[in-house]
Structure 1
Amino acid sequence: MSERESMPYDIVIVGGGPAGLSAAIRAKQAATEAGIELAVCVLEKGSEIGAHILSGAVVDPRALDELLPNWKDLDSPLTVPVTENHHWILSEKKKYEFPHGLMPPFMNNKGCYTVSLGNLCRWLAGQAEALGVEIFPGFAAAEVLWNDDGSVKGVATGDMGVARDGTRKDSYQPGLELHAKYTFFAEGVRGHLSKQLIRHFELAKDVEPQVYGIGIKELWDIDPAKHVPGRVIHTQGWPLGEANGGGWIYHQANGQVSLGLVTWLNYSNPYLSPFDEMQRWKTHPEIKALLTGGRRVSYGARAINDGGWQSVPKLTFPGGALIGCSAGFVNVPRIKGSHTAMKTGMLAADAAVAAITAQRQGDELQSYIDAYKASWVYEELRGVRNTLPLVEKTGNVVGTLLAGVTMWAEHLGIRMPFTLSHHRDNEQLKRKDHVHRIVYPKPDGVISFDKLSSVFLSNTNHEEDQPVHLTLRDPDIPIQHNLPLYDEPAQRYCPAGVYEIVEVEGQPKFQINAQNCVHCKTCDIKDPTQNINWVVPEGGGGPNYPNM
C-alpha cells in the first residue's frame, strides 16, 4: 500500500509555462461553454510561477488574442510594442545592417511585444486562478503513473526531505499522486517525464531527431539615453565562427535590455563553450557601447528546441498529450515559440474537454492531432522547416541566403518539394586531437563575467543534502571515455560550472556541483554517450528568475 495520498482531477498539467497555463485557461473556458464542471490543476517545479521561465522574449500575441481577446484590458505585462527591427551581421570589429525589407514579412515583428516571459506567465497564472484552476508551485512531477491497461493515470510529485544517501530526514514528506482523466505534459524543452513518454510510446519513431540550441541570457539596466523601448536587434556571425546561432538585443520596459546568444548544439569542437562565446559576443564594439555605463542584473540559460516541423513527435498517447516545447513547436528563424506553445495547449484542452463531455476517459485525443494539422501553428512551422538544416549544411552566409529564398517562396505559396533532415547533437563532437583548443579572453568583470558570479545572479538554490539530480548511467564514462577523447566537454558546455575535472590523490575525478544547476538541460542533450540523465530535484529547487 502506497503511503502517498492521491487527488483526483479531470485534467492535470505538468508545467506552469505558456503552454500549460494556456491549456488550463482554455480547459476552464471550454468547460463553461459545454456546461460542465471541470477540475484542473497545474504543477510547477519552480518555487513560483515564472521562476524557471527564461526567454528573449519578443511575443507574438496571436494565440493570446484567441485565448483572452480582452487581454489589453486585464493589466497584462505586454506594454512595449516592437517599434524597430534590425538584423546585424557581425565581424569581430564591425557590423553590417541587413536590409529589413528583404526579410520575409513574418520576420518583421509587426504587432509583437518585448516582454519578460516570466512576468507573462505570472499574469496568465492569475487569469487561470480566477477561473478556478488550482496551481501548485514548488511541486515537481517526478513519476508517471499508469493504469492497468497501460494508459497514463497521472503523475506523482517527488518525495521531500530525502537525504543524499537516500535516507529520510526529519523533514520527510512523501510525494502526492494526482490522478487525471487526461494529463498534459508541458515541461518545456527536454522535459524529464516527456522524454520518458516519447521513448515508452515511441512517439518520435517516424520523425527527424530533435535538435537544440542553448540560449545564454542576461538582463541589463542601461543608460537611459541609450534605451529605445521596443527596439529589436538580432545578430548573426561573430563570434560563432565554429558554430551556428545568433544573438538578440531587446529593449524592454523600465529601461532594461534583454540580450543573449544562442549557440546551436550541433557544434563539433569539444573545446567550444557557449557561455564564453556569449561573454565574448558582448565585447563587440557595438554591443559594448550599449552596455557601458549599465549594470547586469540577472543571468540564466535554457535549451531551445530547434528541430521544427519535421521533429514534432506524435502528440498523444492513451491518457495524455504533449504540448508546447515538450513537443518542440519553436519557429527557429522567428526565434519564437511562446505563441505556438500557447496555441497547442489550447488545442489539447479543447480536445480533452470534448472527450470528457462525451464521457470518454483515457483514450487518445486524435482530435488534438487533427486540430494541430489544421492550425496556423502547423502552417507556420512547415513554411520554415528547411531554414536550420540549410544553414547547418551550407554555412552561415550561403545557408542564410538559401533559407531566405525558401521562406520567401513558401510565403508566396510556392511549396518546397523537399524537407531536410537533422542529425543528433550528441553525435557531432570530434575528438580533441582533431580540433584546435579555443582560448577565451579572461572576463573583465564589467562587460564580461565568469560562470560562478553569473550563477549567483540566477538566484539558483538547491537543498544541498538531497539526491543528486544529475545522474550518470555509468559513472566511469566521464573519466574513461569522455576525458581522453573529448577532454570531457561537460566542463565547457554547461553554462553554470556544474561539471569539473578535479584531481584527487593524483587521479582525475569527475565532480558534479549539482547545487549550481540552472535547469538548462544542455548536459542531457550534448553528452556524447547520453550518459547524463537530468531528473527533477526537490520541488522549488533551481533558479529563481525575477523577470526573465
Structure 2
Amino acid sequence: MERESMEFDVVVVGAGPAGLASAIRLKQLNADLNLCVVEKGAEVGAHILSGAVFEPRALDELLPDWQALGAPLNTPVTGDDIYLLKADSAKHFPNALVPKTMHNHGNYITSIGNLCRWLAEQAEALGVEIYPGFAASELIIEQGVVKGITTGDMGVGADGEHKDSYMPGMELRGKYTLLSEGCRGHLGKQVISQYRLSQGADPQHYGIGFKEIWKVPADQHRPGQVVHTAGWPLDGEGSGGGYLYHADNHEVWVGLIIDLNYSNPHLSPFDEFQRYKTHGVIAQHLQGGERVAYGARAITKGGLNALPKQHFPGGLLLGCDAGTLNFAKIKGTHTAMKSGMVAAEVLAGVLTDSHAGGDDLAQYAEAVQQSWLYDELYRARNFGPAMHKFGSLAGGAFNYLDQNWFGGKLPFTLHDTSDDYDGMQPLSQARVIEYPKPDGKLSFDRLSSVYLSNTFHEEDQPCHLKLADASIPIKVNLARYGEPAQRYCPAGVYEVVSEGGEDQFVINGQNCIHCKTCDIKDPSQNITWVVPEGGSGPNYPNM
C-alpha cells in the first residue's frame, strides 16, 4: 500500500503543554493557518505525568480568561513545607531559609494531563486538527531539510511481517515541524544528533520522576498543602528530592525524583520511592488511604547550560524535548508553554500563502532571549550543578544565597560536564543496598504498580526497545554492573534469566511505561527507545 500524504502549514509532534500552546497561539495569530497535532498516546493526556504544582504565568498570557473557560485549576496552594529527611528524623526549614524559587504562593496543584486535555479542547475550538493514537515514527528529511513526519505503521507482527490488520503510516508534511515530544523525544534526539544542536552545551542531565495518586480519608485531607523533601532515602548514594501534594477530591499525590547520574549499580529508583513513602513525614499523609494510580517518567533537568540549539532547517525543538524545565522551581509546564508560544509568534511572522517554509529559524533563539523564559532559565542556571557538586545540604545553602540574595545573577556559572550514564561503579566496588520487601500498605512491587498505570501494548508487534549489540547486556553489563537495567527500569521490562545454564537478557516490552530511563541510563548506551504502535503504552487518567 502507498502511504497517504497530507499537507499542512505546521505539523506539531506531541500534544503536551508546549505543542498545544504553540498550536493555540498560532491560530490566535493567524486563523487561516492549517496545522495539526499528532499524539502517540491513545488520547490527549494519556502519556502526561507531572507532579504538579503549576505556575499560571504562561497560561495568563495565552488564555487570559482561562477561569471563565473552565481550566482545571481548582486547588490553589495554601501552604509550603520543606523538610530535610534522615532515616529516623526530619528537620523542617522555615520559608525564610528556602530558596524563593521554591515558594508556591499563587500557584495551583493540578493534573497536567487534565490541563492538556482542556488545552486540546481550546485548540480544537480554534480549528486545530489533533490526531491522538498516531505515533510520529520518522522524520521526512529532504536535502537536509525537515519536511514533516511519518506516522508508524499499524498491524506489523513481531517478526516484521504484515498482519491482516496492516495499515501503512501516513506522511504529514509541513512547511515547518515543531517537535514537542517531552523528555528524550525519539525524533528530538535524532535532530539533536543529526544537526549537532548540542555542540558547545553541557551534556544534558536527567532525573526519573515517580508519582502515585492516593485516595485518603476526609479528616486527613488538606487541599492545597505542598510538601517537598531532600535527603533520605537518597543520602549517600544519589541525589534528588521528594514531594507530596494535597489535590482536590480527597487525593494526595506523592512522588520522588532521582537524578540519573547516580553511580551505584545496586541502586533501584523504584525501590527508593517505595521506601520513601514509609518515612513518618510522608506516611502520616497516606496511612488509611488507597493507592489508585502509579507512573514514572524521565525529566530533562540540565537547564540553560545544557540547552541545545533549538532551531534546525524546517523546524524547532520545544519544551522538554529541548530541556526548558526550570529546575530551581521544579517546574517545566509554564516554561514549555512559553517556548511553544514564542515559536508560534516567530512562525506567524514568516508564514504567508507564498512562503515555502523549510528555513532555519535562527530568529527563534533571539526571540527566546528577549522573553522571560530565558531570564528564568538564566537565573536558575547554577541550581542543578550546585546540587550535583555539593550535595543536598551544601548545594541547598548555595542555592539559597544565589536565589535569595543575588536573584540568580552571581557573576559565575557552575557546570556539570559528566554524562549521567557515565561513571557507574563496577559491581565489585559498590556498596550493596538491601531493600525491604513491600508491605502492601505503603510500599508495593513493580508489577502491581504497572497494573495501575493502565499500560497496554499489542504483544505481536516489533519490540520498541532496540539493542545496538544484543551481546552487551550479558557480556558487558551483567559481568561488570550486574545488568542495572533490572533495577533502573521502573516497570520490570528488563530481566536476566537462566536458560540451559546460560544467562539470557529478556525484554518484556509490553510492560514499558515509556519513561525513557533505559535510553538515558544504560552504561553502555546500547538501548534505544523508539515509538511502538500508536496508542500503546500507559493510559494515565489524572497524572
Give the TM-score category using the shorter length.
over 0.9
Deviation at 1:286, TM superposition (A): 2.1
Residue number in structure 1 paired with 2:380: 384
Does 2:33 correspond to 1:38? yes
Residue number in structure 2 paired with 1:517: 512
Q: Retained in 1: the 8 A contact 2:202–2:415? A: no
Residue number in structure 2 paired with 1:18: 17
Distance 2:532 2:34 in 1: 27
Residue number in structure 1 paired with 2:215: 221
Residue number in structure 1 paired with 2:137: 142
Distance 1:7 1:100 in 2: 54
Distance 2:283 2:490 in 1: 21
2:177 is matched by which residue type in structure 1? T
Residue number in structure 1 paired with 2:81: 86
2:382 is matched by which residue type in structure 1? N
Residue number in structure 2 paired with 1:540: 535
Deviation at 1:409, TM superposition (A): 3.7
1:443 is matched by which residue type in structure 2? P
Q: Retained in 2: the 8 A contact 1:24–1:133? A: yes
Residue number in structure 2 paired with 1:192: 186
SS at match of 2:351: helix
Residue number in structure 2 paired with 1:494: 489
1:7 is matched by which residue type in structure 2? M
| Alignment length (residue pairs) | 541
Q: How far does the alpha carbon of each residue in 1:450-487 deviate from its partner, in whole angstroms, 9 at most, with x for none?
A: 00000000000000000000010000000000001000
1:540 is matched by which residue type in structure 2? G
Q: Retained in 1: the 8 A contact 2:99–2:399? A: no
Q: Retained in 1: the 8 A contact 2:314–2:358? A: yes
Residue range with higher mean Cα deviation, 47-56 or 104-113: 104-113
SS at match of 2:263: coil
Q: Retained in 1: the 8 A contact 2:76–2:108? A: yes
Residue number in structure 1 paired with 2:345: 350
Distance 2:294 2:420 in 1: 25
Q: How far does the alpha carbon of each residue in 1:323-349 deviate from its partner, in whole angstroms, 9 at most, with x for none?
A: 010000111121100000000001111
Does 2:393 correspond to 1:397? yes
Residue range with higher mean Cα deviation, 92-101 or 332-341: 92-101
1:21 is matched by which residue type in structure 2? L
2:40 is matched by which residue type in structure 1? K
Does 2:366 correspond to 1:367? no
Q: Retained in 2: the 8 A contact 1:409–1:416? A: no
1:392 is matched by which residue type in structure 2? H
Deviation at 1:360, TM superposition (A): 5.3
Q: Which among 421, 434, 457 is matched to residue 439 of structure 1?
A: 434
Q: Retained in 2: the 8 A contact 1:471–1:532? A: yes
Residue number in structure 2 paired with 1:205: 199
Q: Which among 401, 418, 425 is matched to residue 423 of structure 1?
A: 418
Distance 2:493 2:126 in 1: 40
1:466 is matched by which residue type in structure 2? Q
Residue number in structure 1 paired with 2:502: 507
Distance 2:392 2:414 in 1: 19
Deviation at 1:430, TM superposition (A): 0.6
Distance 1:397 1:421 in 2: 18
Residue number in structure 2 paired with 1:153: 147
Q: Which structure 2 residues correspond to residues 445-464 of structure 1 after superposition, within 5 A?
A: 445-464=440-459
Residue number in structure 1 paired with 2:461: 466
Distance 2:356 2:107 in 1: 39
Distance 1:52 1:428 in 2: 31
Deviation at 1:93, TM superposition (A): 1.8
Distance 2:96 2:63 in 1: 32
2:291 is matched by which residue type in structure 1? R
2:28 is matched by which residue type in structure 1? Q
Does 2:253 correspond to 1:254? no
1:190 is matched by which residue type in structure 2? R
2:202 is matched by which residue type in structure 1? E
SS at match of 1:395: helix
Distance 2:9 2:363 in 1: 18
SS at match of 1:72: coil
Q: Retained in 2: the 8 A contact 1:24–1:40? A: yes
Distance 2:64 2:363 in 1: 24
1:302 is matched by which residue type in structure 2? R
Q: Retained in 2: the 8 A contact 1:192–1:534? A: yes
Over the aligned positions, Cα root-mean-square deviation in angstroms equals 1.1
SS at match of 1:267: coil
Distance 1:293 1:416 in 2: 50
Deviation at 1:366, TM superposition (A): 2.0
1:69 is matched by which residue type in structure 2? P
TM-score w.r.t. length of structure 1: 0.97
Distance 1:517 1:459 in 2: 11
Q: How far does the alpha carbon of each residue in 1:153-212 deviate from its partner, in whole angstroms, 9 at most, with x for none?
A: 000000000000000000000000000000000000000010000000000011001010
Residue range with higher mean Cα deviation, 489-498 or 377-386: 377-386
The percentage of counterpart residues that share the same residue type is: 56
SS at match of 2:30: helix
Q: How far does the alpha carbon of each residue in 1:243-278 deviate from its partner, in whole angstroms, 9 at most, with x for none?
A: 000000011111101110000000000000000000
2:445 is matched by which residue type in structure 1? D
Distance 2:87 2:284 in 1: 14
Q: How far does the alpha carbon of each residue in 1:213-234 deviate from its partner, in whole angstroms, 9 at most, with x for none?
A: 0001100001111111111110
Consecutive unaligned residues of structure 2, counting only runs of 5 or more, are none
Distance 1:83 1:506 in 2: 59
Deviation at 1:371, TM superposition (A): 1.0
1:318 is matched by which residue type in structure 2? P
Q: Retained in 1: the 8 A contact 2:42–2:535? A: yes
SS at match of 2:58: helix
Residue number in structure 1 paired with 2:231: 237
Residue range with higher mean Cα deviation, 70-79 or 94-103: 94-103
Q: Which among 268, 278, 299 is matched to residue 273 of structure 1?
A: 268
Deviation at 1:391, TM superposition (A): 1.6
Q: How far does the alpha carbon of each residue in 1:68-112 deviate from its partner, in whole angstroms, 9 at most, with x for none?
A: 010010011011111101101111122211111222333211211
SS at match of 1:460: coil
Consecutive unaligned residues of structure 1, counting only runs of 5 or more, are none
